[in-house]
Amino acid sequence: MSALKIALTKGRTEQQVIPLLEASGVDCTAIRHKERRLIFNDLPDIHFILVKGPDVLTYLNRGAVDIGIVGSDILSEQNNQQYDMLDLGVGKCQFVLASTPEFDPNQIKRKIIATKYPNITQRYFQKIGEDVEIIKIEGSVELAPLVGLADAIVDIVETGTTLRENNLQVYARLQKVSTQLVVNQLALKQHQTAIATLIQRLSTAKQ
C-alpha cells in the first residue's frame, strides 16, 4: 500500500498540529528539524508536504495529496463544502468586525471594509442586508482603520492582544475558526483503513 500524502499548512498550523500528530503515533522528528525542507517522505506510511494555507485545497482537489490540514477560515473563504472531516480542536479563534471606538456601525454612508477574507466579509454583510465596499489586503489588517484606508476590518481574533494594542474594538462576531483535517474523496476510498485509523487516533489525541 502506498503512503498517505498529507498537505500541512506551514507556520502556525504546523506548530499546533505537530504535537497532535505525535500524540497519534506519527513520527514528526524530520519536520521538527526541517530547516528549508518542504517535503517529508522518510516514513513508510505517511508523507508530508508543507504549503501555504490557501494552497491546501489546490493540492487536495488535484489529487496531489490525500489529506489536507488547514484552518476553517481558509475553507470557508474558498467556499469548500466537500471535504470537512475532522475538527482538530486547535487553531481556535474567531472572525470579528472591528474598528476604532469612533466607528458607528449604523452609519448611513456605504462602509469600506478591509480584510484578508473578502468572501467571508461579503457573505456576512449580505446576510445582514448591507452593501459595503471591500478592500482585500494581505496582512496587518488592523492598520486599515487607523490610517483611513477603511472604516472597519473583518479579521481573526484569538487573544484580542492585536486589537487592544491598536486601540480597536469588536463590533460583531461572525464565525468561529479552528484547524480542520480534510480528505480527498477518491483517497477516502483508496486508503479507507489508513485514513480511518489516523482520524480515530487524532480524535483520541485531541481530547
Ligand X SMILES: O=P(O)(O)OC[C@H]1O[C@H](OP(=O)(O)OP(=O)(O)O)[C@H](O)[C@@H]1O
Ligand Y SMILES: Nc1ncnc2c1ncn2[C@@H]1O[C@H](COP(=O)(O)OP(=O)(O)OP(=O)(O)O)[C@@H](O)[C@H]1O
Binding site for ligand X (CB under 6 A): 139-142, 155-162
CB of 161 vs ligand X, minimal distance in Å: 4
Distances (CA, A) of 10 to 6, 7, 50, 143, 169: 12, 9, 5, 25, 29
- What letter does residue 53 receive in the DSSP assignment? G
- State the residues that interact with ligand Y by CB under 6 A: 9, 11-13, 53, 71, 73-74, 91, 93, 156, 158, 177
CB of 61 vs ligand X, minimal distance in Å: 24
- Minimum CB distance to ligand X smaller for 13 or for 184: 13
Coil, helix or strand at residue 29: helix
Dist CA 84 CA 178 (whole Å)? 12
- Minimum CB distance to ligand Y smaller for 68 or for 194: 68
CB of 167 vs ligand X, minimal distance in Å: 13
CB 77 within 8 A of CB 138: no
- Minimum CB distance to ligand Y smaller for 56 or for 194: 56
